[in-house]
Structure 1
Amino acid sequence: MMLFRKSLLALTFTASVAAAQDIDLTPLVSSVGLTDTIVALENDQPSPGRDFALGGVLFLRGIEKTLQLRYRHNADFGKLDLPVLRLPLPANPEATPFYPGLVTDLFRDLGTDMQGARAVLTNVQGDFGVILDLTRVWFDINENGARDKGEGLMSAARAAFGRAAPQSDLNSLVVRFDTADAAWLTAYTHLLEAITDVVLAFDPTEVIADVSQSIDAMSDLRGAQPNTRHSYLRGFESWIDTFSMFYGALNRQPDPAHTRAMRENLLAMVAQNRRFWDLLALETDNDREWIPGAGQISALGIELPEDAGPVWMKVLDDAEGLLEGRLLVPHWRVEPAAGVNVARLLQAPIPVDIVTWVHGNGLLPYMEQGPLVDDGNLRRFEQMFRGDALLFMVWLN
């Protein structure tokens, strides 16, 4: 019966695509989830709308897979404020043990999934409209094939965007994605893949294993007797363990292939973001917009200041200047005449040694004279959105 229902939904979806210019993806996604929606879309005839829909669902499926892997092993990273790792996760009473390579596996697979989504998005040529009610999208975190409490996309959005996110109890939040949004989503695949490159460059598997083993060994040494003398440190125990893993991973020789790939992905993100704003400026409609341009209103109920796009482009110009080596990062030892060339650092990376980097001698091979980036554009962006600047950075990528 389930197979028949899925087949019927797929046929209904295909008929709706053929009958109308806009594709309403909501009935299919809400009923069968992301995996079966991908199957239905792959079996449909290619078109700009179909390709965007497929690329978007593949993007979301990549996020879903990170949640599923974490759920299988109860890998709740608490308040660790990192992409995908900070998304909320219900407790799994039947979880299998955590393993040191989980973080690396998670991000390696996420990078592959972003490449897959982008491969489809590059085929998007021409006008289209894809309608999606974001409140009906869900992640099958526990892999039982049904939507359970806490599995909605909006629950994840609240974790990603914080207090400024749309409320998770909305009855509907319908967005009509169009041509410009394909560039926005392509930019986001580059951004997430760049983050995976950072993790893979400093592969934390060995460090996580060493720290975990040392924690167990010290616990065995203490035995069952409670440590009352330093009980005030109990609240910091998890933070200290996490910091130890981070510091240990960063203070190792990174893989240059991944630091170079990160740089290329960030440059591609900037290029696609510029393309998005160029396409947005050509729009003449005002129909349930994802990110609104001049004279448009966002379906999210969020208003952008009129000069938000130009100011954000200047922030990205600064980022591009750093990635290309045209601008340098200030360092207290050598500014204002010189700075650190980030582009050269990413081409030939070294371990992140906090002490020598702050002192300056660790970064001396990458220091040179030249124009420095300043924080003027970033400060203007932050002033424009006040306390919600981080929200808009995530949204605009």
Structure 2
Amino acid sequence: MTTTLPAPALEDSNDAGQPLADLIHQAGGSTDSDERIRRAEDVVNAFAAELDGHRANNLGFPAAFDIDYSGLSALAPRLLNNLGDPFSGSAFPAHSKLFERRVVELCADLFRAPPGDRWGFVTSGGYAGIEYGLLNGQRIYPKGIVYYSDAAHASVPAVLDQLGMTGVAVAADQRGALDPRDLAAAVHGYRDRPAIVVATVGTTMTEAVDDIPGIRTVLREARIYRAYIHADAALSGFTLALLPPDARPGFDMADGADSISASGHKFLGTPMPCGVLIVRASARIPGHWVDYLDTSVTLANSRSGHAPLHLWWALDVLGLDRHRQRAHEARETAIYAVDRLKDIGWPAWRHLHGMTVVIDRPTDELTTKWHLAASGQISHLMCMPGITRTQIDALCADLAALKAASPARAASGLPRQMRRAVPPPDDVTTGRP
């Protein structure tokens, strides 16, 4: 279940107290071109100030703000269009395919794609990665049934509708991960049909990780040998891939995934939505060659050439050791958040390797103020890189004040029996492991 929070009203964003919406409408209202440019610059400055103001309270959505991409500013004004396959040429010269190939190489290593049997491209985000994975599974197994957790991203059923595929939502367990027992029951009635499974690597609300080796075991025990697994690792793919080998959960291509996708604008904080899709080259969707483009076409013909540059900057220039440190610091902040919330008596828990802290859902006023995602009786805060303990302390102060002022209103207007989040199971942690 996904709850859409009401959008806050636009605040006054300039010295004159004029709302940003009015500035936008008035920017083009002059016949003088210089005046229009001056007004447009006022709009841009006001919008930048508004965005900076939102950062202090953005605790509910996965966006890292700690990486400086200004080293790429010389390329910002330039059109870069990565037409078609990144591993082929292009008749259009203004592209960044060399950078994109390097990004694919780095990510294929991170997600342990088979050497010599790997391919990929930079996507526009999580939806595009899921779309490619499901379409690839459908091409291989046209009569396949798609199985996915009911805690999977909302993009999964949306893509199924778009592609006209048959899908079965499998129950999530208490942790938020796909329940292998429910998967076994679901596939039992379709043992004569191939299985296409979307495994979520970092669910939206709890950052749970579906166990890909366990999924393969369920399918094997059901004697379903025609199977394709796509790992939707939009949230947690990069952070889990940076763990020591003996600490990684089973989520990537060495664990049984046929394809995997991860987002760039979450942990890596790229300034535009983007992602990476990695697939076994021997199992990928063949592109259609277009003579006048001198390339074969991917799902999206024209793709941003700026996204690969930013991913290259993050992964190759900043380096994986820095990202390991960022992930470690984010988890330390999450541990601190759980401990502080426990100190004020507000139930909270997190998965062992998670940056997400699951809490009892507070009032709508506080979920709006802190931009907290909420679903049913739970909410969460995302301790992404760049989130500070000072921000955690400020949220805890608001929650403590809410409890002290009106204990009955500490939770939102949910029935009393729904106010407490699902208690953490044995294999998650309420604080420092």
What TM-score, normalized to structure 2? 0.26
Instruction: Name the structure, 1 or 2, with higher relative contact order (CA <8 Å, separation 6+).
Output: 2
Greater fraction of residues in helix: 1
What TM-score, normalized to structure 1? 0.28
